[in-house]
Amino acid sequence: MAKSFKDLDAQLSEYILSRSRISVQSSRMNSKLEKYVLRILTEVLEKLGQTRYIEMLYTITKEMAINGVKANQKRVFFEDLGLDIRNHEHYDQGLAQFKENFSEKMADEYGKRCLARGVFVKISVTYASEGLVVEVVNNTPVIEIEESRMREKMRKAMEYNDIAEFYMDNMDNTEGAGLGIALIMILLKSENIDPNLFRIQTSAAETVARVEIPFTDNYVTIRSKEINQVGNHK
């Protein structure tokens, strides 16, 4: 269940101790949201005795949230300009303008516009002694051209173990989102966690970025569970 910041502040520790899932929802990325994300992850990982992952998981969660917020704001920006994001000509024009105009002030303004239109990002942390899952859902879909570029960035990032090396090799064609994706995968590798446990799925209504952190050999990945469910229904 998603909670407001005020509710969370008063009840966070109690929720973490008594539940196995906690969510927070926002239309923009600001210091207040970052503070709550860090506190949630810190208290959850302290409860589970896995504090070694706090810094890595906070960085990954923040990257996924920033990507989701920016994707939502880009959608609203295109709408405000009267551009069709699925039209290639419109897309190139709108993206160039979005990059040129993007600033902290604009991010704050478009956060308010997203809120007014019901466009948001929801960060959910699901946890147990075997492992933890962070999901970031933004309620806008990824268009085909963006999904194709995103998959290519994920494929390329698999080849690297150093973010600086990735940046130097891809600086001409890498947006912030591309660097964020590479950073997530490289951070997972640095902790000997399979980078395939970072996934991005999109549907007509939303985009879901998800990372799984196994704590024990007994952890069953979400993909394994889905495959088993398919097998059981045959």
Q: How many CA atoms lie within 13 A of 110 on its CB side?
A: 22
* Angle (CA) 87 93 94, round 5°: 85
User: Any idea what the CATH number is for the domain that residue 12 is in?
Assistant: 3.30.565.10
Once rounded to an integer, what is the mean pLDDT over residues 147-173? 83
Q: Does residue 170 register a pLDDT over 70?
A: yes
Q: Is 211 exposed, middle or buried (0-12, 13-18, 19+ CB in 10 A)?
A: buried
Q: Where is average pLDDT lowest: 54-58, 68-72, 138-142, 168-172? A: 168-172
The residue behind tokens 């210091």 is 31
| pLDDT value for 39 | 93
Full domain range(s) for residue 198: 5-232
For 123-140, the DSSP string reads EEEEEETTEEEEEEEESS
The whole-angstrom separation of Cα 91 and Cα 145 is: 9
Q: Does residue 87 register a pLDDT over 60?
A: yes
| pLDDT value for 144 | 84
- Over residues 102-139, the pLDDT tens digits come to 888 998 999 999 999 999 999 999 999 999 999 999 99
Once rounded to an integer, what is the mean pLDDT over residues 40-63? 96
Instruction: State the total domains in the chain.
Output: 1
Q: Does residue 149 register a pLDDT over 90?
A: no
**Please, which pLDDT band fits residue 3 given cuts at 50, 70 and 90?**
low
Once rounded to an integer, what is the mean pLDDT over residues 168-183? 72
Once rounded to an integer, what is the mean pLDDT over residues 16-37? 89
Q: Does residue 4 register a pLDDT over 80?
A: no
pTM of the predicted structure, to 2 decimals:
0.88
Q: Does residue 71 register a pLDDT over 60?
A: yes
